Amino acid sequence: MEEIKTGVYICHCGLNIAGTVNVEEVARYAGTLPNVVVARDYRYMCSDPGQALIKDDIKNLGLNRVVVASCSPRMHEPTFRRACQDAGLNPYLFEHANIREHCSWVHDDRQIATEKAKDLVRAAVRRVFYNEPLEIKERPLNPNVLVVGGGIAGIQAALDIANGEHRVYLVEKEPAIGGHMAQLDRTFPTLDCSECILTPKMTEVGQHPFITLLAYSEVEEVAGSVGNFKVRVKKKARYVDEEKCTGCGVCEEKCPWKVDSEYEVGMGKRGVVYVPFAQAIPHVATIDKERCVYFLKGKCRACEKFCDAKAIDFEQKDEIVELEVGSIILTTGYDVFDSRRIPQYGYGRYDNVLTGLEFERMTCAAGPTGGKVLLKDGRQPESVAIIHCVGSRDENYHEYCSRVCCMYALKYAHLIKENTQAEVYQMYIDMRCFGEGFEEFYRRVCDEGVNFIRGKVAKVTDVALTEGEQGKLAVIAEDTLLGGIIRVPVDMVILCPALEARFGAEDVAKLFTINRRADGFFMERHVKLDPVATATEGVYIAGCCEGPKDIPDTVAQASAAAAKALSVISRGRVVIEPTTAQVNEVLCQACGRCEEICDFHAPKVISKDGLRVSSVDAALCKGCGACAVVCPTGAMSVRHSTREQINGMVEALLEV
Amino acid sequence: MAEFEPKIIAFCCNWCTYAAADIAGTSRIHYPANVRIVRVMCSGMVDPIYILKAFEMGADGVLIAGCHEADCHYLNGPLKCDAMFEKIKRVVNILGLEGERLRREMIAAAEAPVFAELIEEMVKQLKKLGPSPLREGVKV
């Protein structure tokens, strides 16, 4: 066996490490460890001169193992592996000790932190002794991209990629794309109409030669890894032939059954067979099977009789579509907080307490009131209160700020002023107007004579205490600027509910093996430096599934995710992680336990030269190591996580 | 005599608990220095041999921490870890070690404060228990 020559490098990270850990002492100590031929400390190991130290030592001293003790390997392991590789050393002969995140930043006693750093370095030196060079292979990739969710984020990402002439499969679970943005009236702070800017993009998606739109579909299964995902999509039966349907709307007109329209958030009706909204893409009808009288009672079929195109097909079945893609972008959006959860605000009990989305539909010219701001009895309101932070910035519900409410609340005030003579009261905690043109819009609305009352609303009630409150809703709040409880009598109350993680986000996260934050939204790989990547290579996130954000931020993030996917495509091949399971055929008894435990079908017992042994398909193996744990003979192990490596660390950590 | 300082070996899954410990660092959430983290790719990768090795070498406590079930990077790693843990717990009992010395926890990447609190709690508990009876020089 060749002589092991290890170089150890202790990083000061400025004062981040050196401020707490005596780095010189750790380096001196490292120099005394077995197989260590050089140990140095340096201000910033990740800098070019820091990396040059390693490269020079590999060349001049013939190092065949390298240990860097610095930040988390999740940060700079790739950096130092590359440095080793540049100097001709296999990158898997590098080992990282985390003496910043796991030591200097969480302890303050210099002596204790220094001792812990020594332990961590000793463990890394022991582990690297057992490291083996691994061969990095590359394989071709599939350039197709799957985008899940057809709101503005998914639309933008799909168009960016398709315009680069790569195939995009856009999966949307609803009958039409457009998402929440399609329901909005005007968009802050420029007040351009949401439909006017969204519909051209929707149409482009519908007609794009490189976009395959799978609306009314859901992803059921995902297998494989970056470059080569296999995805199973269920295309739900619409009971309407998409090819034949012209979207003329006669079926909906003739359908004798009307139900609440989701698009109009219950403020309007739709047929049981319906096109969700006028500009829907794809512009085809869907039969709501749950509520269709024919499906429930076996009689009706009115739509079928009146359809000239013969598009109605009650026999239609769900269809399974198998897709092969190289990367995946999740743009699954958000849910609106259910305002009934705060009963003291009266939503659902008082007719004239609305949610923001309901008000959006009300002010929309094509909406249920034809764009008029009206009370339930048809009168125009004389006074309106807008309650901010309903379920946001509230430790009982969501601690976070939903980031869009201040601005759309200002927009509502402006639209009310534009359409009515009403007094408007903004009941806010803090005004947060941070984006481009936001502060200017805030000033504009202030100048329009809107009243701003700083304080959290306690209650909305119809119990009048004074004559002025008769027939009105009294909004009770603490005015924190005046320092007292106030009651504001108004005709209409608009709630600004929180944006929250989608119902079912947990299942989506599991399906695509990504993580969620404590608030339920999908978690980015690095909050600042890798905001659209996830823990799974090749799966990206954009828009409100990652957290509440406005349209400009959503579009920017969607383009960022598209750029990530395009960069994978343009590289043309993916690296196969060599950290997969391997079988020692001499030890293997072909018991098949590895085969049983593996969720990826990687190990299989096969006949080889007349002997039964287990064999691992590296393309399927994810390197989770479950097979090695159940292997009774120790034949199975995972490269780069071998028993020698891990036991070696445990021994080294405890032997002093 | 100096206060007894327990030694804890924590096997932390790369994707969740190791990341939580990283975020504890980034957020400067302090916790006792008694823990030494060994990074594993998945809690389902932790071999009973590692746990026995740690106790044999004199660890006062061992922690196996990884993703919650729904967060697993490898689908079902936590379930596999749980199955292993049920078995090794019995072995550890037979060895005469108190059950509290071996912990199995699920800590998501976002739960840095939970990680710090857990270490704090374990250290407190182990200080009460005293050194592991398997430590060299300790009379059983």
Examine the domain organization and report whether A452 and A520 are in the same domain.
no
Query: Count of domains in chain A?
Result: 5
Out of A435, A465, A500, a domain closes at A500
Q: Distance (Å) from the C-alpha of residue A516 to the closest C-alpha of chain B?
A: 8
Examine the domain organization and report whether A416 and A522 are in the same domain.
no
Average pLDDT over residues A228-253: 95
Residue A644 falls inside a structural domain: no
Q: Say how far residue B77 (Cα) sits from the centre of its chain.
A: 16
Residue A568 falls inside a structural domain: yes
CA-nearest residue of chain B to A122? Answer: B36
Examine the domain organization and report whether A10 and A95 are in the same domain.
yes
Select the residue of B33, B49, B111 nearest A116 (Cβ to Cβ).
B33
Residue among A26, A33, A16, A112 nearest A71 (CA): A16
Provide, as residue numbers in chain B, all residues whose Cβ is less than 8 Å from the Cβ of A624.
Answer: 41-42, 44-45, 73-74, 77
Give the pLDDT confidence of B16-45 residue by residue, as tens digits: 999 999 999 999 999 999 999 999 999 999
Is A511 in CB contact (< 8 Å) with chain B?
Answer: no
Examine the domain organization and report whether A413 and A325 are in the same domain.
no
Asked whether the beta carbons of residue A599 and residue B108 sit closer than 8 angstroms, the reply is no
> What pLDDT, on the 0 to 100 scale, is given for residue A185?
95
Examine the domain organization and report whether A328 and A346 are in the same domain.
no
Q: Residue A189, preceding bond cis, omega within 30 degrees?
A: yes
Provide, as residue numbers in chain B, all residues whose Cβ is less than 8 Å from the Cβ of A651.
Answer: 53, 57
Judge contact between A451 and A420, C-beta under 8 A: no
Asked whether the beta carbons of residue A643 and residue B40 sit closer than 8 angstroms, the reply is no
Q: Which of B53, B63, B117 to mutate to test the interface with A (most CBs of A within 10 A)?
A: B53
Asked whether the beta carbons of residue B45 and residue A638 sit closer than 8 angstroms, the reply is yes
The domain in which residue A72 lies consists of 6-136
User: What is the Cα–Cα distance from A14 to A31, expressed in whole angstroms?
Assistant: 22
Average pLDDT over residues A507-523: 91
Which residues touch A317 (CB under 8 Å, ≥6 apart)? A237
ipTM higher than threshold 0.90 = yes
Average pLDDT over residues A213-231: 94
Q: Minimum mean pLDDT among A115-119, A221-225, A520-524, A593-597: which range?
A: A221-225
Give the pLDDT confidence of A163-201 residue by residue, as tens digits: 999 999 999 999 999 999 999 999 999 999 999 999 999
**Band of pLDDT at residue A382, cut at 50, 70 and 90:** very high
> What pLDDT, on the 0 to 100 scale, is given for residue B137?
57
Q: Distance (Å) from the C-alpha of residue A152 to the closest C-alpha of chain B?
A: 27
Asked whether the beta carbons of residue B47 and residue A629 sit closer than 8 angstroms, the reply is yes
Average pLDDT, chain B: 93
Examine the domain organization and report whether A348 and A487 are in the same domain.
yes
Which residues touch A618 (CB under 8 Å, ≥6 apart)? A576, A578, A580, A602
Q: Distance (Å) from the C-alpha of residue B83 to the closest C-alpha of chain A?
A: 10
Give the pLDDT confidence of B57-72 residue by residue, as tens digits: 999 999 999 999 877 8
Which residues touch A228 (CB under 8 Å, ≥6 apart)? A139, A141, A142, A324, A326, A574, A619
CA-nearest residue of chain A to B35? Answer: A116
Give the β-pairing of A484-490 and A473-479.
Answer: antiparallel
Percent of all residues in chain A with a pLDDT value above 90, rounded to a whole number: 93
Provide, as residue numbers in chain A, all residues whose Cβ is less than 8 Å from the Cβ of B21.
Answer: 101-102
Asked whether the beta carbons of residue A101 and residue B70 sit closer than 8 angstroms, the reply is no
Asked whether the beta carbons of residue A74 and residue B48 sit closer than 8 angstroms, the reply is no
Average pLDDT over residues A273-300: 95
Q: How many other CB atoms are there within 10 angstroms of residue A345's CB atom?
A: 24
Give the pLDDT confidence of A443-457 residue by residue, as tens digits: 999 999 999 999 999
Out of A460, A482, A500, a domain closes at A500
Q: Does the pLDDT at position B136 exceed 80?
A: no
Q: Say how far residue A68 (Cα) sits from the centre of its chain.
A: 33
Judge contact between B132 and B54, C-beta under 8 A: no
Examine the domain organization and report whether A394 and A482 are in the same domain.
yes
Examine the domain organization and report whether A506 and A493 are in the same domain.
no
- What tokens were used for A103? 């030591």
Percent of all residues in chain B with a pLDDT value above 70, rounded to a whole number: 96
The domain made up of B8-129 has a fold known as Rossmann fold (3.40.50)
CATH number, domain with residue A209: 3.50.50.60
Examine the domain organization and report whether A355 and A440 are in the same domain.
yes
Asked whether the beta carbons of residue B70 and residue A513 sit closer than 8 angstroms, the reply is no
Q: Does the pLDDT at position A1 exceed 80?
A: no
Provide, as residue numbers in chain B, all residues whose Cβ is less than 8 Å from the Cβ of A107.
Answer: 30, 33
Q: Residue A175, preceding bond cis, omega within 30 degrees?
A: no
Give the pLDDT confidence of A344-381 residue by residue, as tens digits: 999 999 999 999 999 999 999 989 999 999 999 999 99
Examine the domain organization and report whether A372 and A483 are in the same domain.
yes
Give the pLDDT confidence of B80-108 residue by residue, as tens digits: 999 999 999 999 999 999 999 999 999 99
**Band of pLDDT at residue A510, cut at 50, 70 and 90:** confident
Q: Which residue do the tokens 């850990």 mark?
A: A21
Residue among A299, A507, A327, A475 nearest A387 (CA): A475
Q: Which amino acid is at A368?
A: P
Which positions 83-142 of A are in contact with B (Cβ < 8 Å)?
A: 98, 100-103, 105-109, 112-113, 115-116, 119-120, 123
Q: In angstroms, what CA-CA distances link A612 with A292, A514, A606, A630, B49?
A: 58, 37, 6, 18, 27
Q: Which of B31, B41, B51 to mutate to test the interface with A (most CBs of A within 10 A)?
A: B41
**Band of pLDDT at residue B1, cut at 50, 70 and 90:** low
Q: Does the pLDDT at position B139 exceed 70?
A: no
CA-nearest residue of chain B to A521? Answer: B110
> What pLDDT, on the 0 to 100 scale, is given for residue A310?
95
Q: Distance (Å) from the C-alpha of residue B72 to the closest C-alpha of chain A?
A: 7
Q: In angstroms, what CA-CA distances link B16 with A381, A390, A611, B84?
A: 52, 31, 40, 19
Examine the domain organization and report whether A383 and A473 are in the same domain.
yes
Residue A362 falls inside a structural domain: yes
Q: In angstroms, what CA-CA distances link A307 with A244, A246, A315?
A: 10, 10, 16
User: What is the Cα–Cα distance from A228 to A325, expressed in whole angstroms?
Assistant: 6
CA-nearest residue of chain B to A17? Answer: B25
Percent of all residues in chain A with a pLDDT value above 70, rounded to a whole number: 100
Q: Does the pLDDT at position A498 exceed 70?
A: yes
Q: Which amino acid is at A424?
A: V
Select the residue of A108, A536, A624 nearest B41 (Cβ to Cβ).
A624
User: What is the Cα–Cα distance from A340 to A146, expressed in whole angstroms?
Assistant: 36
Examine the domain organization and report whether A359 and A453 are in the same domain.
yes
Give the pLDDT confidence of A62-78 residue by residue, as tens digits: 999 999 999 999 999 99
Residue A359 falls inside a structural domain: yes
